[in-house]
Copies of this chain bind each other. A is one copy, B any other.
Amino acid sequence: MPYVNIKITDENVTSQQKAELIEGVTELLKIVLNKNPETTVVVIDEVSTDNWGIGGQQVTERRKKGK
């Protein structure tokens, strides 16, 4: 029954990597809290680097500086 939302920047994440995140988080909740995988929901949001800020700056700008 847990609900997990993963927000990451939209930078060429493959479908295989998403599958691994979903499987891994679901497994983690089973191991740590004995949650039933059948009703564990995972939603991945890919966010444009223009729309993600850290350190007061867009990630787009940080990437240009090699961060």
Task: Judge whether B43 and A17 touch: CB under 8 Å.
Answer: no
- Tallying the copies of this chain within the complex gives 6
Task: Judge whether A19 and B57 touch: CB under 8 Å.
Answer: yes
Interface band, chain A: 35 or more
Chain B residues, Cβ within 8 Å of A27 = 56
CB distance from A39 to the nearest CB of B (A): 7
Which of the residues B13, B37, B43, B45 comes within 8 Å of A56, measured between beta carbons?
B37
Task: Judge whether A18 and B58 touch: CB under 8 Å.
Answer: yes
Task: Judge whether B32 and A24 touch: CB under 8 Å.
Answer: yes
Which A residues contact B (CB, under 8 angstroms)? 1-9, 13, 15, 17-29, 31-33, 35, 37-47, 50-61
